[in-house]
Amino acid sequence: MLIIILGLIVVCVTLLWTYFRIKFRRMMQLADKIPGPKPLPLIGNALEFGTNTKEIFNNVIRLSNEYEAISRYWLGPQLCVHLTDPAYVEAILSNPKLLDKAWSYKYLKLWLGTGLLTGSGQKWKSHRKLITPTFHFKILETFVDAFNSNADILIKQLSTHVNGSEFDIQPYITMCALDNICETAMGESVNAQEDSDSEYVKAIKSMCDSIMFRSFRPWLHADFLFEMTSAGKLQKKCLDILHGKTKRVIASRKKRFLETAGSRNDTFEDNEGIGRHKHTAFLDLLIQSSENGTLLTDQDIQEEVNTFMFEGHDTVAASMGFTCWSLAAYQNIQEKVMSELKEIFGDSNRSPNIQDLQAMKYLEQVIKESLRLYPSVPLYGRQLTTDLSIGKYTLPAHTNVFILPYVMHRDPKYFPDPEKFDPDRFLPENILDRPPHCYVPFAAGARNCIGQKYAMLEIKVTLCQLLRNYKLLPGTTPLDITNEIVLKSTTGINIALEARGKA
């Protein structure tokens, strides 16, 4: 009986492999011309990437460095190509027809639906057009008060560590970013900083781990198989938490919106004709747009709110954490930031306003340099809908093309002594001769990050207030970089604090 079973397995595998070779014959022929490791039948190169997110990330980086400008591998039937040459990257990001996200993004759709991050086609185009005005600078300006208020809470939360031993600052920053996005996206405070054991944050982390875990295991790509695993069952619980939160808030805000429609006096037109509310949440703007005749269903609104809850807190928190680590490690740079803040604030204890934030040129260079070395999203992808010629290679339709800022930003051709933290790389005169697509932390082209100005304002407010209260000192625990969709350190962001008066 055992021999019969083994025989049937061999026959099934052989038939499946034959079908695979016939169906993907042309793709395989073109893929063989691209540098990369030799794949195994059916599972491709999946076994080369390890068993956890840290190993996967290390091997992705190793592969890209080994084959340099372009490399390829297979995950089951999925052909993946890495690009790290700015010219190749530009060919992808600047092409208005290449807007579909890579295959692995489908696992995010369980959580985010087809919002701006994961959507495609006409729905994505119409939503992008609708949502872009909500990130106008005049609207972002109204969020500064919330950023300041939550930064004040962060300062109080960190006070217990002043003049103490090193500690991991990342959880504190993450909770601050979560409070910010909840207030500005949903219009509701979750008091994450004062209730740090947040099931919402835990659910986000578990979802990210699950997506990375599944993407590199072809045998779990089928939904029915994944749902039977412990990871699949945990993911379902996380989705209940994440979706439940946004559904409750949307229902509440929509009810309030309808009750107060026609009786508002908090709306005004600025001199550019853009209507806005004082402290208007992103959710309220979506509801208002829907009421004004744009066809946005409750499901559409939920997808976009979920998208911004994810993208607007985890990525920003990662950037703030790595910037804190860098400032602690480079005391001379921290003091230059302090000199700039003293020029802006003098002896005043006031919170920063929008004009102050615009004047923080050197702090912005520091943030950009941190994003160079530690891009919040270390890789992102597109899926080709047609064949595409890049250099001497032809990438076949359905190829998953991945851009790797984490590797590109360390190319010594464009960033000499790439491991050195040097904010002067982003002085206006030093940017001129660099190809624009050698630095892409927010992507580029039609699908660039819609919230990058929001992120920069939030990071500036938080770091400004943090530095005016505390001197950041280096810890002894080194970073241990990994990718959980968003760049993280498995050892945390360990620094120490010393009190100082406000700038």
* pLDDT digit string, tens, across residues 74-97: 988 899 999 999 999 999 999 988
Domain for residue 168, yes or no?
yes
> What CATH number is associated with residue 203?
1.10.630.10
For residues 474 and 354, what is the distance between their CA atoms, to the nearest angstrom? 30
The set of residues, in sequence order, having a beta carbon less than 8 Å from that of 97 and lying 6+ positions away, is 385, 386
pLDDT of 189 reads: 73
For residues 94 and 403, what is the distance between their CA atoms, to the nearest angstrom? 13
DSSP of 368-412: HHHHHHS-SS--EEEE-SS-EEETTEEEPTT-EEEE-HHHHTT-T
For residues 246 and 303, what is the distance between their CA atoms, to the nearest angstrom? 9
Band the pLDDT of 269: cuts 50, 70, 90.
Answer: very low
For residues 103 and 239, what is the distance between their CA atoms, to the nearest angstrom? 20
**φ, ψ of residue 328 in degrees (nearest 5):** -65, -40
Determine the longest span between alpha carbons in the chain, in angstroms.
Answer: 86
Look up the domain containing 467 and give its range.
44-499
Domain for residue 26, yes or no?
no
For residues 496 and 325, what is the distance between their CA atoms, to the nearest angstrom? 10
Q: What would the mean pLDDT of 368-388 be, rounded to a whole number?
A: 96
Domain for residue 7, yes or no?
no
Note whether 394 and 72 are within 8 A (CB). Answer: no
pLDDT of 284 reads: 82
Domain for residue 396, yes or no?
yes
pLDDT single digits (tens) 165-184 = 999 999 999 999 988 988 88
Q: Cα dihedral angle (227, 228, 233, 234), rounded to 10 degrees?
A: -90
Q: Which residues are annotated binding-site positions? A: 449
Number of folded domains that form the chain: 1
Domain for residue 411, yes or no?
yes
pLDDT of 264 reads: 47
pTM of the model: 0.89
Domain for residue 213, yes or no?
yes
Domain for residue 19, yes or no?
no
For residues 317 and 405, what is the distance between their CA atoms, to the nearest angstrom? 18
Long-range contacts of 130-137 (CB under 8 A, 24+ apart): 130/289, 130/294, 130/296, 131/286, 131/304, 131/450, 132/450, 133/274, 134/282, 134/285, 134/286, 135/450, 135/451, 135/453, 135/454, 136/272, 136/274, 137/453
pLDDT single digits (tens) 441-475 = 999 999 999 899 999 999 999 999 999 999 999 99
Which residue spans within 140-265 are E strands per DSSP? 167-168
Domain for residue 30, yes or no?
no
Residue 351, helix vs strand vs coil:
coil
pLDDT single digits (tens) 285-334 = 788 777 655 567 888 888 988 888 888 888 999 999 999 999 999 999 99
Q: Which residues are 487's β-sheet partners?
A: 483
**Burial class for 135, CB neighbours closer than 10 Å (0-12, 13-18, 19+):** middle
Q: Which residues are 474's β-sheet partners?
A: 495
Q: Which residues are annotated binding-site positions for heme? A: 449
